[in-house]
Structure formats: structure tokens, C-alpha cells
Amino acid sequence: MDGRDTLRVMNPANDRCRAFHALHQSGCFVIPNPWDPGSARLLADLGFQALATTSAGFAWSIGRRDGQISLDQLLDHFRAIAASVEIPVNADFEGGYAIEPAGVAANVAAAVSTGIAGLSIEDSTGDSANPLFDFGLAVERIAAARQAIDESGTGAVLTARTEGFISGRPDLDETIRRLTAFAEAGADCLYAPGIYTRDHIAAVVGAVAPKPVNVLTPGATFTVAELEELGVRRVSVGSSLTAAAMTGFLAAAVEIAEEGAFTKMSESLPYSNLNARFPGKAS
């Protein structure tokens, strides 16, 4: 075993970062979003090549609203998800838990030490009156995240998000202006959630090429093959899987509470089927 082989053995997280970069080089892959280690294991067992956390899904799973999670809670969540699977995990890091670039850089450095293979930084302020950070500051924040990743030596993939289409500012020209500037500032992947039409997706892909683009799945509007034809490299589902799971849970619970019946639970997978999907000795 030479020195490079030793380094690879000693740095499995870096291997995942390299594998994650490779996934973005060609084709189109789906990066589903688990909300806890159990859902992450189930998705990995289905053959997905990478996963992504969901801030909303995690918040709901611990009884909080989206956006009400502390930085320490989120970092612990990243560690738990990354440790539960052997494939790359991208982290939904929201706005980096800071406004100023220096704070974003410090928090990104902490995030990439958790074992994740990538993270996203968005330009949403959370203020409905002024929902996006000013252009210059938004770009500086991405540049700071880039520098923090480079200094970490992890090689984590940096995804830059602009939130105009989901925060009341659906301006395609401004979206493209921001994404191209984020690409120039060092983002590896670009993402504008809420871009759902063929023309808008194609425009974004063309504007930032050859950098890869992530699309938030617009329900049943497109298939993965159709998104690939538009040049999309990565497809995520956000909190939709969590919502689907909780919808089934609530339907069964409501039936019990309101009707005293248990028919909806009969639609679930058997205990033995689910239990066998997780590691451990057979009981």
C-alpha cells in the first residue's frame, strides 16, 4: 500500500467528496432527502448514489418548524446522517447560519468537518419585505464558503442557491444573474428551487454551463429522463419524502382517533420486511 492508498483509507469522507464531484460530471442523478438515519439507510439500500438532508424534514422529525433548528442541532444531524450510510451526503445548510461572510465561512468549516460530502448555501433572508440578500453580499457569502471549503482540504461540493422563485421574487433574469455570479465565486453546483417550466430550466442550465444544475423535483411534471434531456445533472426532492411519510402516518392515526378503526395500517409493509432492512442480528 503506497502513501496515496493510506491517505484514502484514512480519509473516507474525502473519498465521498471525490465520488460526489464525479457524479456531477455527466448524466443526471436523483439525490433524495432523508430526515433521519433510518430513512437514510432505506434510501441507500434502494441504490441511490447520494443523499441530501432536508432542513424541514429534520425539523418536523424533532417536533419543530422549519427554520427553528439551532446550529449545534444541525451539525449533530449532519454527523448522524453521514455516519449512517457509505454514500455521499449533501447538507441543506440553509443560509449558513450567519449573515456576514466571515460567519458563513466559520460555520461552513464546522459543517464540512461532520463527514458530509457537500453543502448548499442560499441567499434567502427570511424577511418577507426583503427576501434576498443584496446581490454583492450574496456573492461574498458564496466566495467565503468556497474559501472555507478549500482551506478545509475536504473537497466538499459547494452548491449555491438563489431563492427568488420560492420567496416572492420570481425574476428569471435576476435568478440567472445571481447564479452566474455564484458560479464565478466558486460554487460547484447551482440551484434555483421553484424553477419548474421547461424554458426556465433550460435557460438556467444554459446560463451557468458547464457548471451542473440541481432542480427541485416539480412533482409529476417531469421524469428524470426528461430533466436529463434539458441538461439537469442533479434532482432533489426536498421535504417531499418526509411529507409523504408523515401523511401516511397521520392518515392512519386520524382513522384511529376519529373512527376507532385500523384499516389504513394494514397497507403498511410488514414488521418483518421493515426490520430486515436495518443492520443487526435477526431476532
Task: Provide DSSP, 47-92.
Answer: T-S-EE--HHHHHHHTT--TT---HHHHHHHHHHHHHH-SS-EEEE
Q: In this predicted structure, what is the pLDDT of residue 2?
A: 42
For the chain, 283 residues long, the average pLDDT of each consecutive 10-residue run is 38 90 97 98 97 97 96 98 98 98 98 98 95 98 98 98 96 98 98 96 98 90 95 96 96 97 93 93 71
Task: Give the containing element (helix H, strand E) for 120.
Answer: strand 118-122
The per-residue pLDDT for range 88-137, each reduced to its tens digit, is 999 999 999 999 999 999 999 999 999 999 999 999 999 999 999 999 99
CA-CA distances (angstroms) from residue 196 to 200, 220, 221, 246? 7, 11, 8, 25
Return the domain boundaries, the chain.
Answer: 3-238, 239-283
Q: Strand 234-236's sheet: what is its strand order?
A: 29-31, 234-236, 213-216, 189-191, 157-161, 118-122, 89-92, 51-52
Q: In this predicted structure, what is the pLDDT of residue 4?
A: 38
Q: Tell me if the domain spanning 3-238 has CATH number 3.40.50.300.
A: no
